Amino acid sequence: MRPSARWLVTIAGLALLAGGAIAAGRLALRGRTAAVRADNAAGDTTCLSCHGEKGSFEQTAHRLTSRPATRDAIAGSFTQGANVLRTSNPALHFRMDSTATGFFETAVTGRAPDTAMRSERIDFVTGSRKGQSYLYWHAGDQLYQLPVSYWTAVGWVNSPGYPDGTPYFERPIAPRCLECHASGFQAVTADPAVINRYRRTGVMLGITCETCHGAGRDHVGRERSLLHAVLPPAIVNPARLPRPRQLDGCALCHAGVAAPRTPAFSYVPGQPLERRVEWLARSDTGAIDVHGNQVALLERSRCFRSSLMTCATCHDVHRQQRDLVEFSGRCLSCHAAQSCGLFTRHGQSLVGRCVGCHMPALTSKTILSTSRGHDIRVQVRTHWIKVYPQFQVP
């Protein structure tokens, strides 16, 4: 064999070996996306450095569902007179204070001058639209809910489920609660009897990009590598997942009560959610409350069962969506306004009203707050799409 031929064979062999190595590497690295943690996270700022068109996500209810306590984050008023919650107990009221050292809830018991007070700092804010609750650290690493919450258009109220007229500060925050309001807390399991102990470092507040896309540090490293064209991206694009897996990503927090099978914050986007939780209320088993069960209600709907729709058919999680007319436009992508039984009476005025009639805001039976002995129940838009005669256009 001539030297030139041997050289070509050698080059071809090296190319095959290199190609095989790359292919083996791709196979070995495939599926490496992990649940996000403080030590494998890239962070939203890094994500947006390449995906700047998604910057509106930072102002969404998901992203702001938990935040550090700042004056801008807390919706309630600290103005004198507006910062007091009276209770059904004339010897108890709560006062919300803003000081140079932070924000506080104080229970004032007794009648002046013989009063006793207990104050706790507001450390975290949870919730952003309909209302907020507040969390505080106690004994160094234990997280509790504060007794006073805030409902939009109502004001300061007793936190949901808290007894009116009692200075109660002892509701522990379990990991499963945090999982739907944050992207990462590391539980401390030294004492199994204490469910609300967490490391105070490495906390990731709000629902971040990586909650739905998986940990991004490896993805960023590969995209910045000279080999990024041949390396797998090591990130999940939910839009490319099969329909059941797309729904799972939302169902983690929007499909009812679930008993965890694995530790909180261990869900990996794209994996079957049943590996993570055992559903207690997702199946179609009668009355489903409108709070926290949106996927279960959607799965009941004829629209869902007769199409390939997912949550993303109507929701763009990367931006705020409040316009019911815009949402109704999604309905008209499959339905004609003329097909509505009320069209002969109302004509084109029905356009933009689909959601109000077919997905009305209903009162939740599971979220109950009280204010001076009066019950306050939140209304949540149902995701069971159907005809509700009582909400039809008059």
Confidence band (pLDDT; 50, 70, 90) for 75? very high
Q: Report whether pLDDT(268) > 90.
A: yes
Whose tokens are 């207690």? That residue is 280
Using a pLDDT cut of 70, give the percent of the chain over it. Answer: 90
* Beta-carbon contacts of residue 40 (< 8 Å; ≥ 6 apart): 34, 215, 216, 217, 218
pLDDT score of 378: 87
Token duo for residue 274: 């049943």
pLDDT in tens, 286-297: 678 888 889 989
Cα separations in angstroms, 28 against 31, 32, 39, 215, 234: 8, 8, 22, 17, 11
Residue 271 has pLDDT above 90, yes or no: yes
pLDDT tens digits for 146-178? 999 999 989 999 999 898 999 999 999 999 999
* pLDDT band with cut points at 50, 70 and 90 for residue 280: low
List strand residue ranges (DSSP E) for the chain, in order. 66-68, 84-86, 92-99, 102-111, 114-121, 124-126, 131-138, 142-145, 148-151, 155-158, 171-172, 182-184, 204-205, 258-260, 277-279, 361-371, 374-381
C-alpha distance from residue 351 to each of 276, 320, 342 (Å): 41, 22, 11
The alpha carbon of 361 is separated from its chain's Cα centroid by a whole number of angstroms, namely 19
| Number of neighbours of residue 287 by Cβ within 10 angstroms | 6
- Neighbouring C-alpha atoms within 13 Å toward the C-beta of 20: 6
Residue-level pLDDT at 31: 45
Give the span between the Cα atoms of 96 and 27, in whole angstroms: 56
- Angle, alpha carbons 138-184-171 (nearest 5°): 35
CA dist., res. 55 & res. 50, Å (int): 10
Contacts of 55-59 spanning 24+ positions with Cβ under 8 A: 56/318, 56/319, 56/320, 57/209, 57/317, 57/318, 57/319, 59/320
pLDDT attached to residue 59: 96
What is the spatial distance between Cα 121 and Cα 143, in angstroms, rounded to a whole number? 12
How much is the pLDDT for 347? 92
What is the per-residue pLDDT for 207?
98
31 versus 127: which is more confidently predicted?
A: 127
- The CA–CA distances, whole Å, from 354 to 309, 328, 334, 343 equal 17, 5, 12, 12
Summarised one tens digit per residue, pLDDT across range 17-57 is: 445 444 444 444 444 789 999 999 999 999 999 999 999 99
Residue 3 in this model has a pLDDT that exceeds 60: no
Contact 188, 198 (CB under 8 A): yes
Which secondary-structure segment (H or E) carries 29? helix 3-29
380: helix, coil or strand? strand
